[in-house]
Amino acid sequence: MSYPPTILVFDSGLGGLTVLREIVRARPDAHYVYVADDAFFPYGHHGEDQIIARVVPLIGELIASHAPDLVVIACNTASTLVMSHLRHAYQVPFVGTVPAIKPACASSKTKRVSVLGTKGTVKREYTKRLIADFAQGCEVTLVGSAELASLAESALSGNDVSDEDIAAELAPCFVGKDASDAHRTDTVVLACTHYPLLLDRLVQLAPWPVDWIDPAPAIARRVSDLLGPANGPTDQAGAEMIFTSKRPHTLSQALMPFFGGRVPA
Ligand code: DGL
């Protein structure tokens, strides 16, 4: 492992920034390369074979050009498909992002949990296996959203996104009647890294209060464990942001909080 370690964080777009934010908090000593595969966004609209064929060689190119010490696939739509392919093809340690069904079901009191992800993620065998293994007696509702990732991306880029558009994507997560229903949904898994970008709006538009489960802090702990103890100075300046479309980035100010205040080059 080099010092400071280089961590490459990858997503289809800006959603992985919600994972990056937690990792930077846990490991301010590291150097960060954030890659948004915006040329292929949204992944939720692509077939499984297309995603594997896109992501596996692309990660190989990124490893060759940035020599990361660790790669985080900060995308559920990709992680639920590509992790074994990546581990087979490359030596670098990988951390993926998959729906946090186990902790959600462990903490639900009403035993009714919804998993909100892209249409791809909720269809995956991997997600179904997580439910079979970890539902712990909960009724789990899978909600595939076609638009929420794009809405989150648009909101972060400073555009107006209407309450109606967000509420329509959210509505199927809420199963049950009124407060007298002891079995209505009390927990929603944010199974797409874009969704925490809209968390304030989700809380405000929810028909009743629920726990929103975001796996980013757990991912950051895993990354930190794999890196081992920080044993050098903080690399405060070290951040790069790459868009595969090669568009110049005009978002630096809005993105700075996700990089712990660093301005990504
Ligand atoms: N951020 C991605 C995820 O966690 C998906 C968004 C997309 O490209 O459809 O699933």
Enumerate domains of the chain plus CATH numbers: 6-97+217-259 (3.40.50.1860), 101-214 (3.40.50.1860)
Higher pLDDT, 28 or 50: 50
Tell whether the model's pLDDT for residue 103 goes beyond 60.
yes
pLDDT at 251: 67
Sheet holding 139-145, edge to edge: 139-145, 112-118, 187-190, 211-213
Tell me which residue has tokens 């990089």.
259
Contact (Cβ atoms closer than 8 angstroms) between residue 135 and residue 105? yes
Tell me whether residue 138 is one of the annotated catalytic residues.
no
Annotated binding site for substrate: 11-12, 43-44, 76-77, 193-194
Confidence band, pLDDT 50/70/90 cuts, at residue 101: very high
pLDDT (average), residues 209-234: 92
pLDDT at 178: 75
Q: Please write the tens of the pLDDT for every residue from 108-165.
A: 999 999 999 999 999 999 999 999 999 999 999 999 999 999 999 999 988 999 999 9
Q: Please write the tens of the pLDDT for every residue from 73-87.
A: 999 999 999 999 999
pLDDT at 4: 86
pLDDT at 7: 96
List ligand 1's pocket residues with C-beta within 6 A: 11-13, 15, 41-44, 75-77, 118, 121, 149, 192-194
Q: How far is the CA of 51 from the centre of ligand 1 (A)?
A: 11
Tell me whether residue 75 is one of the annotated catalytic residues.
yes
Two tokens at 29? 């000593």
Q: Please write the tens of the pLDDT for every residue from 243-256.
A: 999 887 666 678 88
Peptide bond into 5 cis (omega under 30): no
Q: How far is the CA of 95 from the centre of ligand 1 (A)?
A: 16
Closest atom of ligand 1 to CA, residue 42: 8
pLDDT at 230: 83
pLDDT at 111: 97
